Amino acid sequence: MMRKSSIVIDVELDENRIPSNIEWKATDNAERSQQARAMMLSLWDGAEKTALRIDLWTQKMMVDEMADFYYQTMMTMADTYERATRQTELVADMRNFAKQFYQKFQDLQLKENKAG
């Protein structure tokens, strides 16, 4: 018998339809919902050969948190791609880009903090 698992994502919207709260719960950990300030969901449509995406973030999500979120997401995407393809050269490129992205963000933050 195949086992089935579900992930439920609840998004509360404010009067302007901007996410004010994101909660998720998985059937494997059904005791309580987890809070999130942002989410990225990508699904591959094999028939259309396109990625379907939902990217949401709450007003509580700070710019530095968004940079951390993107950096960590890019690094985990590289990990997943490596496990799926064993394309080590491409994976190294992905990781290097993520590191350069994050370093550039940090440099811009320093520059803005000195100017402000």
Could you report the per-residue pLDDT of 21-73, keeping only the tens digit for each? 999 999 877 678 999 999 999 999 999 999 999 999 999 999 999 999 999 99
Picking from 18, 16, 96, the residue whose alpha carbon sits closest to that of residue 59 is 18
Task: Tell me the pLDDT tens digit for each residue of 67-107.
Answer: 999 999 999 999 999 999 999 999 999 999 999 999 999 99
pTM of the model: 0.86
**Which among 65, 75, 71 has a CA at the least distance from the CA of 36?**
65
CB contact at 8 A, 94 and 60? no
Provide the 10 A C-beta neighbour count for residue 82: 16
User: Are the CB atoms for 110 and 65 separated by under 8 Å?
Assistant: no
